[in-house]
Structure 1
Amino acid sequence: MADSYNGYCVKCKEKRDFDGEVKVSESGRRMAQGTCPVCGTKMNRILGKA
């Protein structure tokens, strides 16, 4: 289930909307992980608990 999120692309140095999946890291934090639609770099966004 891919949703749209807004995150920062380190390679483009801009905020972009990306389609990503919610994953849980080893420390229990939720994050959206996807790829930049322009350059294809992996993007992450840490989500809140709600």
Structure 2
Amino acid sequence: MAETYNGYCVKCREKRDFSGEVSETNGRRMAKGTCPVCGTKMTRILGKA
């Protein structure tokens, strides 16, 4: 189930929308995906559900 999130791409140095999967590590929810322009991995820490 891929959803769209807004995150910061470190390589492009811009905020971009990316589609990603939600995973939970150490009690933190995080959206992980790739930048649609350069292909770099992007992450976004989400709030508690």
Decide: shared fold, TM above 0.5: yes
Number of residue-to-residue matches in the alignment: 49
- State the partner residue of 1:10: 10
With normalisation by structure 1, the TM-score equals 0.95
| 2:35 counterpart of 1:36 | yes
Q: Percent sequence identity over matched residues?
A: 80
Rounded to whole Å, the distance in 2 between the matches of 1:2 and 1:28 is 21
Task: Determine which structure has the larger strand proportion and give its number.
Answer: 2
Consecutive unaligned residues of structure 1, counting only runs of 5 or more, are none
RMSD over aligned Cα atoms: 0.5
